[in-house]
Amino acid sequence: MKELLEIIHERHSSRVAFDKDRPMSRQDLLQILEAARWAPTAHNMQNFEIIVVDDRSQLENLGNVESRISEDFLRENYQQLSFSEEELLKKKVGILGTFFPPSWRTPGDWSKVARESEPSRLGETIRGSPALLVVIYDARKRAPASEGDVLGFMSLGCVMENMWLVAESLGIGFQIMSVFGADSVEKEVKKILEIPEHMRIAFAVRMGYPASAPSKFLRVRRDVVELAHHNRFGSRDFS
């Protein structure tokens, strides 16, 4: 296994096509699930379940579910965009606008853009992936004294990161699909996967062995000196 910090540096969202004829190795899958099992969770509540979907007919059923872009997503996504590599390098946060269609990166009436956008199908994102992980949680529970269950959602993030890092170490492509948690999509997915009403979808993961090398794109992070404070806020000496 690679050195941990190297794996952390190389971890990325894999948007390339996966080899649809190469099923997930049971050994690799179990290692990823083992990483999820040992994720830290608030009060060790372990408030999550993982549905592994690798049956082709089920993947096809999920792929037929329609989704629509929301006005909130368009507006808030725009605020995170840079429109050149130079701008992104300067800001060190956010993403390049070229990842999105022109209508999503042109300020205007976001409600109109959302209304006029054609619905898409989950299959466009799944794109022949041999396996999906659907992470769900019991919405009736929360971490003790955690308003809005912030600690519970942090725990789900730890589950995500543990799985992602192990997948990276194994050479497995990993792409988060937050659209599974959108209200209209979640409703249909829960029907297909027979998920109980009280369970909610946190996120899904498109996973598989990349059929080609990942495309190179600019990745940015703030420097340590810009995010770390020493003993008091504003004292920055970690250069």
pLDDT (tens digit, 9 = 90+) per residue, 125-181? 898 899 999 999 999 999 999 999 999 999 999 999 999 999 999 999 999 999 999
- The pLDDT, as a whole number, for residue 2 is 60
Please work out, in degrees rounded to the nearest 5, the angle formed at the alpha carbon of residue 143 by the alpha carbons of 229 and 70.
Answer: 80
- The pLDDT, as a whole number, for residue 213 is 81
Task: Indicate the number of domains in the chain.
Answer: 2
- The pLDDT, as a whole number, for residue 1 is 52
56 has a pLDDT exceeding 90: yes
Residue 16 belongs to domain with CATH number: 3.40.109.10
215 shares its domain with 166: yes
216 shares its domain with 180: yes
78 shares its domain with 108: yes
84 shares its domain with 164: no
Q: How far apart are CA 44 and CA 141, in angstroms?
A: 13
172 shares its domain with 152: yes
Assess if residue 200 is contained within a domain: yes
Assess if residue 239 is contained within a domain: no
Q: How far apart are the first and last CA of the chain?
A: 30
144 shares its domain with 173: yes
Assess if residue 203 is contained within a domain: yes
Assess if residue 233 is contained within a domain: no
Q: Which candidate, 203, 13, 32, 17, places its Cα nearest to that of 126? A: 17
92 shares its domain with 48: no
| Range of the structural domain that residue 175 is part of | 4-67+122-227
134 shares its domain with 213: yes
Assess if residue 103 is contained within a domain: yes
Contact 35, 162 (CB under 8 A): yes
81 shares its domain with 159: no
Average pLDDT over residues 91-113: 93
Assess if residue 81 is contained within a domain: yes
Assess if residue 232 is contained within a domain: no
Assess if residue 60 is contained within a domain: yes
Strands (E), 15-122: 49-53, 66-67, 81-82, 95-96, 120-121
| Confidence tier at 225 by pLDDT (50, 70, 90) | very high
